[in-house]
Homo-oligomer: A and B are copies of this chain.
Amino acid sequence: MTPAGSASAAAYARAVARFHRLAVLGEAAAMLGWDAAAMMPAGGAAARGEQFAVLAGLGHGLLTDPAAAEDLAASGVAEPWAAANLALMRHAHARAMALPADLVEAQARANAACETVWREARREADFARVRPLLETVVRLAREQAAALAEALGLSPYDALMDGYQRGIGAADVAPIFDRYEAFLAAALPAAEAYQASRPPPRPIPGPFPIAAQEALCRRLAERAGLDFAHARLDRSAHPFCGGTPSDVRITTRYDEADFAKAVLAVLHETGHALYERGLPLAHARQPVGEAAGMAAHESQSLIVEMQACRTDAFLGWLGPELHAAFGGAAELYEPANLARLWRRVERGFIRVDADELTYPAHVILRFRLEQALIGGDLAVADLPGAWNDGMRALLGITPADDAEGCLQDIHWYDGGFGYFPSYTLGAMAAAQLMAAARRQTSKLDTAPGLDAALGQGDLAPLRAWLGTHVHAQGSRLGFNELMRAATGKALDVADFEAHLRARYLPS
């Protein structure tokens, strides 16, 4: 190695050590975040906030230390994973350096203040109360987007999206969402008519003891491949997947009257957890060893929950398991009834309650509105009206008030712009990945096949394919590169549409 090569390798090694410490600070924050949601007594909140702030400050200090810039500038590596890692380091560094400290502080204050008032405003369905605070939040988010855009060479909105999902931008997303809108305009009434023509679901009467639900959820997560030597299942107000790759923490909540909420949430979070567990160990605690982004992450939760576990095959296995856990009439647990219960289409106002077919409409609305807010084409004062117009256009329904309209989600009121597309990109990617997995595994001689295995409650073939094509890839590829490598094409809507046609429309 030449002395120059040696110096550039040494600089890279220092950068690796720095990002290792940064990642470990992130792990500590992740564990504290899990604790805050699942364990912490209410009185610990103020101290926890301070802990997050100090850990974030130390991390920011590590990243913006002049030595970091020097090492990154002097680094040189040839090996592809290392080169990808270095590019991601430089990207993270550029993002951190792009934002002036006073803007970061102003956003932290404005977002926290707005979020607090939003909670009251939503309760009272009173948009006017939170409007001035949201105006400040939007103004600062526009400043943030402009600063990031300049540093990253992206459009302002794409610079925000990039913070959640690298490797796909509004120019990719907009035509996909436009096509879905057109598809939905025909598919939704057709699905509703088809659904109306068939027997209604028969509800399964409870109560379902929480302890039995919890034991079942744990068994299902294990069956789906989660190793509890490296995981926990706990309770929180909103289900999530937290922790670290070697110690992943999923949560759910239980309703005595309805086991489906807990079961489906656990399958969803297990998909996230399997992704974390499958990240490349050789690159642990480096940017390239992390998950590829929020849309990629959502694809992994949805491929388990929606693509695999709501199939007729899996429901055929799951029904007797549920019956054994909860008792009652066996026929209620037959796959046809479970399918009618869990694959029901219904136009509604609330995103988080939406079915698979209409969910994208909620996201498309938000995607368009947040682009307009960040682009300056929509005033905050006009948001409620634009929201309701959009709902009418997309789903043909009009919210009765802003609580079931533009006040329903925390995201914008907390300063989060550019995240919403991840949900639907993840749903579409899940369908595209599932189609590719079916195609590719069907060529193999392995027994049983992917769907046959699902009929045995066995996700191993799917998990193996995802392990290779998604999990083990870490963050080496941007979103569309990952999709190309795994499925042969960038994200499009065809496989998702085919999936929805097969599941919701007459054949």
Contact = CB atoms under 8 A, between A and B. Distances in A.
Interface string A49-74: 01100110110000000000000000
Contact of A41 (B40, B58, B229): B229
B232 A54 contact: no
A325 interface: no
A192 interface: no
A193 interface: no
A230 interface: yes
Interface in A228-249: 228-232, 243-247
A247 B58 contact: no
Interface in A255-287: 285
- In the complex, the count of this chain's copies comes to 2
Contact of A227 (B20, B43, B51, B245): B43
Interface in A312-329: none
A247 to B, nearest CB: 3
A28 B44 CA distance: 12
Nearest to A44: B247
Interface in A1-60: 20-21, 24-25, 27-28, 31-32, 35, 39-44, 46-48, 50-51, 54-55, 57-58
A28 B32 contact: yes
Q: Is the interface of A mostly helix, strand, loop or mixed?
A: helix
Given A35-B35, A47-B244, A247-B48, A21 B232 contact: no
Contact of A43 (B24, B27, B58, B247): B247
B44 A246 contact: yes
B44 A230 contact: yes
A51 B27 contact: yes
Contacts of A228: 41
A41 B245 CA distance: 12
A48 B245 CA distance: 12
A25 to B, nearest CB: 7
A24 B51 contact: yes
A246 B47 CA distance: 7
Given A25-B54, A51-B27, A39 B39 contact: yes
A21 B25 CA distance: 14
A21 B60 CA distance: 14
B55 A28 contact: yes
A46 B246 contact: yes
A111 to B, nearest CB: 21
Contacts of A27: 47, 50-51
B247 A24 contact: no
Contacts of A247: 40-41, 43-44, 47-48
Interface in A182-206: none
Contacts of A55: 24, 28
Contacts of A285: 50
Nearest to A42: B229
A57 to B, nearest CB: 8
A355 B473 CA distance: 59
A43 B232 contact: no
Contacts of A25: 54, 58
A21 to B, nearest CB: 5
A42 B228 CA distance: 9
Contacts of A232: 39, 41
Contact of A24 (B31, B40, B50, B243): B50
A386 to B, nearest CB: 42
Interface in A154-202: none
A55 B20 CA distance: 12
Nearest to A25: B54
Nearest to A231: B41
A35 B31 contact: yes
Q: Which of A40, A41, A246 has the most CB of B within 10 A?
A: A41
A464 B404 CA distance: 51
Given A24-B50, A24-B54, A27-B50, 11 more contacts: A20-B54, A24-B51, A25-B58, A27-B47, A28-B55, A31-B35, A39-B232, A40-B247, A41-B229, A43-B227, A43-B230
Interface of A: 20-21, 24-25, 27-28, 31-32, 35, 39-44, 46-48, 50-51, 54-55, 57-58, 227-232, 243-247, 285
19 contacts: A24-B51, A24-B54, A25-B54, A27-B47, A27-B51, A31-B31, A32-B32, A35-B35, A41-B228, A41-B231, A42-B229, A43-B229, A44-B230, A44-B243, A46-B246, A47-B244, A47-B245, A47-B247, A58-B58
The 4 A-B residue pairs with the shortest CB-CB distance, nearest first, are A44-B247, A43-B230, A24-B54, A43-B229
